[in-house]
Amino acid sequence: MTDPQAVSAAVAKLYDTYPFPPEPLLDAPPPGYNWRWNWLAAYQFCTGRKPARQDIRILDAGCGTGVGTEYLVHLNPQAQVVGIDLSAGALAVAKERCQRSGANQVEFHHLSLFDADQLPGDFDLINCVGVLHHTADPIRGLQTLASKLAPGGLIHIFVYGELGRWEIKLMQEAIALLQHDKRGDYTDGVQVGRKLFAALPENNRLVKREQERWSLENYRDENFADMYVHPQEIDYNIHTLFELIDASGLEFVGFSNPRTWDLERLIGKAPDLLERASHLGDRQRYRLVELLDPESITHYEFFLARPPLPRPDWSQDELLLNAIPERSPCMDGWDARCLFNYDYQVIHLSDAEWAFLKACDHNDQNDQRTVGEILKTVDLGLEGVRSLLSQQLLLLTPA
């Protein structure tokens, strides 16, 4: 399917039939957080510093049923949030979701990604998760979003990876073949897909991958339909991904799941191979990772930016000593020494790390102590501060 209007109509029909994501509606703010939706944490990750302002404009491009939109509102109380989607059914759920949870600083528009340029003004943060790969022209879609990004602004993107979704693509094609002229009947597609999985041998590769990786979410028909009977999907590899990124005219800041792209986790037992890999460019190393660990690369999630994007050099002792530190907002279980970090991993703080973060909590508008002043009473040292910063446990404001 190549006609953009036909693609948009087919995608809208799918999400009108199966509004997605299907998370339940709550009469309270959503639990927890995703740091990528928190402006303070996302900006710190991309630049190494706290943003200068929080009264920003945020666009949730392809908001679906508003799961991400709701978080964007609650995690950024000073922001104005706009959500757009081409499915009227999904938008109706999004509006109810946000109204019920008190996410009031939001407005919704029934627009496709390609119509985002109709919105007034620029945006400081654009969230586009699971959308571009379902359009007829992802490059044009990303270029449209780029045109709405303010200088110094960030876009967070999530698109599918072809290597980790190989079995999904096979099942998608199998279902389409069995549907014959009923393609586009998404309810029928779900029924065909479920019968296929039930009929295949237990040791079938497609069945095993579904059970190991996807079945916990695909028990819902909405998830199953989104994965296996979607009318439009484009999957990427590192080469085609950076063709998309380069066409946007924006700066690639980095993957927002950097541990996945750490080559040492794969070949750390062979220092000579790591040495060989050190001579590769970034994109070559990324390609090496996905070649060696294809099952893990089911998607790419990354930040793009429109310069200028200030990046303080915290290796300079004087600059770090004079910075104003704050504790990251994305920590769960504080002020215990054992808690969940920004990625909901359990971490154990040393006494000195805990004491430093505790001191950061006492910084306020009237009494803002610098890193150097806090270190006079906490035996952590500058390298300890840099460690907290690298773990995304600190926000720093340059003097």
Residues 145-172 pLDDT 10s = 999 999 999 999 999 999 999 999 999 9
Asked whether residue 310 is assigned to any structural domain, the reply reads: no
**d(Cα 86, Cα 392) in Å, to the nearest integer?**
35
Let me know whether 97 and 62 are in one domain: yes
89 and 112 housed in the same domain: yes
Mean pLDDT over residues 55-62, rounded?
98
Inter-residue contact 126 to 59 (CB < 8 Å) = yes
Residue 241, class by beta-carbon neighbours within 10 Å (0-12 exposed, 13-18 middle, 19+ buried)? Answer: buried
Q: Name the nearest CA neighbour of 296 among 255, 339, 245.
A: 255
| 41 plus 72 within the same structural domain | yes
Rounded distance, CA 233 to CA 235, Å?
A: 6
Domain count, the chain: 3
- pLDDT of 1 higher than 60: no
How confident is the model over 359-396, as pLDDT tens digits? 999 886 668 999 999 999 999 999 999 999 999 999 99
Q: What is the pLDDT of residue 58?
A: 98
Length of the chain: 399
Q: What is the pLDDT of residue 363?
A: 81
131 domain residue, yes or no: yes
Radius of gyration of the chain (CA): 23
Whether 34 and 117 share a structural domain: yes
Is 311 a member of any domain? no
The 8-class DSSP code of residue 326 comes to E
Classify 61 as helix, strand or coil: strand
Cβ–Cβ under 8 Å, residues 87 and 156: no
Which residue range is the domain that position 335 belongs to? 317-397
- Which of 113, 108, 88 lies closest to 17 in space, CA to CA? 88
- Flag whether pLDDT at 109 surpasses 90: yes
DSSP 231-289: S----B-HHHHHHHHHHHTSEEEEESSGGGG-THHHHTT-HHHHHHHTTS-HHHHHHHH
Domain boundary residue, one of 177, 201, 228: 228
The answer to whether 8 and 137 are in contact (CB under 8 A) is: no
Backbone angles phi, psi at 76, to 5 degrees: -130, 70
Residue type, 367: D
The answer to whether the pTM exceeds 0.75 is yes
Backbone dihedral angles phi then psi of residue 277, each to the nearest 5 degrees: -70, -25
Residue 353 lies in a domain: yes
